[in-house]
């Protein structure tokens, strides 16, 4: 398959692994944070950690949009569905994410709330057209990748006069989160910090690789925008190792088949029209970050579910012992969690990192990487 097979070639992987072994300095460590959950899954699915020297370590970052959603927002969505007589439309990933008191959208649905899983914003609009006497709310989450389709839906609802449709907006922005992590990394007294970043791929198709240049400059941090196939990740790791060895800290783009420096200007203009930046937003694991999320702009206030239903700001209560917050900061790994594989499994998730298809705990569990330590030399 075009753009898949050639990026999964075992022969090329062997050559890239040899180059990484040759160029990585045995006298130091290379801690490379992969920002996206998609990278984390590629690393585990294809066993990439075992192909690189032991002093090259992949550190998992906060790039799973379901995982960083604070519990209070899940509680808000559950409240909407249970107490406001709405049809709540949501992506499947969110259905099993635990809210406070082990409640989830799936459990609320089982108890009678009208919650429907959709594959796109178009599905949510279709439900609103079919049920004009009911309020239909789309639970919008994701990074800059999924914000443009939400913006299109908001404009479409306005154009059609779909007054029963609104959006509960939870879109978050990646550069502020990366800046936070790099700032903490610079402050940390931990012996091993982050040496380089495998930058977001799909997000960067929208905002462009140039969006990370201020971060790279401010924190003297090498960044390589990396695709999601195994050879993308290996090539990007090699590019980072070369930058680190040369003492450089540029933003380089490995994912040139999709990402440009400027990004998608049309999508950016659409987002600027429909959304405004929130002064601050709570990220699970990272806390309240300034200018890190989108709200629906005042000119589209009538489509904003937060205003329509006067949703309160709620904090939510984390499960005791769940290490999702520190895993999202790259400080712990899933196997460090006492609940991993015992109390917490994909069938019975305690935290969002075990639920989402992009979560680090789900990746460890799915590919069994916790069963045997890496043995590469």
User: Residue 334 interacts with ligand SF4 (CB under 6 A)?
Assistant: yes
Token pair, residue 377, equals 């030399």
Determine if 344 is a binding residue for ligand SF4 (CB under 6 A): yes
Sheet holding 30-36, edge to edge: 56-63, 30-36, 196-199, 223-225, 251-253
The 307-326 contact track toward ligand SF4, x by CB under 6 A, reads ---------------xxx--
Contact, 121 vs 150, CB < 8 A?
yes
Q: Are 349 and 96 in contact (CB under 8 A)?
A: yes
From candidates 86, 177, 337, 363, binder to ligand SF4 by CB under 6 A:
337
CA 263 to chain CA centroid, Å, is: 18
Residues in the chain: 377
Distances (CA, A) of 358 to 41, 172, 340: 7, 16, 16
Using CB under 6 A as the binding rule, whether residue 327 contacts ligand SF4 is answered as yes
**CA nearest 40: which of 67, 9, 13, 72?**
67
What is the closest distance, in whole angstroms, from the C-beta atom of residue 324 to ligand SF4 in the complex? 4
Interaction between residue 71 and ligand SF4 (CB under 6 A):
no
C-alpha angle 150/151/157, rounded to 5°? 90
Q: Which CB, 11 or 347, lies closer to ligand SF4? A: 347
Q: How far is the CB of 309 from ligand SF4 (least distance, A)?
A: 29
Q: Using CA atoms, how far apart are residues 321 and 129, in angstroms rounded to an integer?
A: 44
Residue 10 or 321: the one with the smaller Cβ distance to ligand SF4 is 321
Among residues 143 and 340, whose Cβ is nearest to ligand SF4?
A: 340
Of 332, 374, 371, 377, which is closest to residue 351 (Cα–Cα)? 332
The pattern of x and - marking residues 274 through 313 that bind ligand SF4 according to CB under 6 A reads: ----------------------------------------
In this chain, which of 165, 168, 300, 340 binds ligand SF4, going by CB under 6 A? 340
Question: Which lies closer to ligand SF4 via its Cβ, residue 144 or residue 318?
Answer: 318
Give the nearer residue to ligand SF4 in terms of CB position, either 226 or 327.
327
Q: How far is the CB of 100 from ligand SF4 (least distance, A)?
A: 15
Q: How many residues bind ligand SF4 (CB under 6 A)?
A: 14
Find the shortest distance in angstroms from Cβ 286 to ligand SF4.
15
Asked if 68 touches ligand SF4 (CB under 6 A), the answer is no
Picking from 97, 37, 31, 29, the residue whose alpha carbon sits closest to that of residue 334 is 37
Shortest distance in whole angstroms from residue 373 CB to ligand SF4: 18
Closer CB to ligand SF4, residue 169 or residue 327? 327
Q: How buried is residue 52: exposed, middle or buried, by Cβ count under 10 Å (0-12/13-18/19+)?
A: buried
Site string for ligand SF4, 346-365 (x = CB under 6 A): ----xx-xx------x----
Handedness of CA 224, 229, 231, 233 (dihedral sign): positive
Three-class DSSP category at 371: coil
Nearest position to ligand SF4, beta carbon? 351
Q: Are 296 and 275 in contact (CB under 8 A)?
A: yes
Among 339, 358, 363, 369, binds ligand SF4 (CB under 6 A): 339
3-state secondary structure of 90: strand
| CB of 68 closer than 8 Å to CB of 285 | yes
Q: Give CA–CA dist 235/13, Å, rounded.
A: 9
Tell me whether residue 82 or residue 333 sits nearer to ligand SF4 (CB atom).
Answer: 333
154/344 with CB nearer ligand SF4 = 344
CB of 337 to ligand SF4, least distance (A): 3
Residues that bind ligand SF4 (CB under 6 A): 322-324, 327, 334, 337, 339-340, 344, 350-351, 353-354, 361
């Amino acid at each position: 398959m075009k753009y898949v097979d050639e990026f999964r070639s075992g022969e090329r992987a062997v050559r890239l692994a040899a180059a990484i072994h040759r160029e990585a300095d045995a006298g130091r460590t290379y801690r490379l944070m992969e920002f996206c959950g998609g990278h984390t899954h590629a690393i585990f699915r294809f066993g990439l950690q075992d192909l690189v020297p032991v002093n090259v370590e992949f550190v998992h970052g906060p790039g799973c949009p379901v995982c960083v959603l604070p519990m209070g927002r899940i509680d808000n969505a559950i409240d909407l569905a249970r107490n406001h007589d709405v049809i709540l439309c949501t992506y499947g990933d969110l259905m099993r994410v635990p809210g406070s008191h082990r409640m989830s959208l799936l459990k609320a649905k089982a108890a009678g709330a009208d919650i429907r899983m959709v594959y796109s914003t178009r599905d949510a609009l279709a439900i609103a057209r079919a049920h004009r006497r009911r309020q239909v709310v789309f639970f919008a989450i994701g990074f800059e990748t999924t914000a443009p389709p939400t913006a299109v839906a908001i404009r479409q609802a306005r154009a059609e006069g779909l007054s029963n449709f609104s959006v509960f907006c939870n879109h978050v922005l990646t550069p502020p989160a990366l800046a936070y992590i790099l700032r903490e990394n610079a402050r940390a007294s931990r012996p091993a910090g982050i040496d380089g970043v495998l930058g977001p791929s799909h997000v960067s198709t929208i905002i462009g690789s140039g969006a990370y240049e201020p971060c790279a400059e401010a924190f003297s941090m090498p960044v390589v925008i990396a695709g999601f196939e195994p050879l993308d990740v290996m090539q990007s790791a090699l590019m980072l190792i070369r930058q680190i060895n040369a003492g450089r800290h540029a933003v380089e783009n490995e994912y040139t088949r999709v990402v440009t420096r400027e990004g998608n200007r049309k999508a950016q203009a659409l987002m600027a029209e429909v959304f405004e930046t929130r002064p601050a937003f709570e990220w699970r694991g990272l806390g309240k970050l300034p200018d890190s999320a989108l709200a629906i702009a005042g000119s589209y206030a009538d489509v904003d579910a937060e205003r329509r239903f006067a949703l309160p700001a709620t904090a939510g209560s984390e499960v005791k012992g769940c290490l999702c917050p520190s895993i999202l900061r790259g400080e712990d790994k899933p196997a460090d969690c006492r609940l991993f594989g015992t109390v917490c499994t994909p069938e019975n998730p305690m935290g969002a990192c075990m639920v989402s298809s992009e979560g680090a705990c789900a990746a460890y569990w799915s590919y069994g990487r916790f069963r045997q330590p890496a043995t590469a030399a």
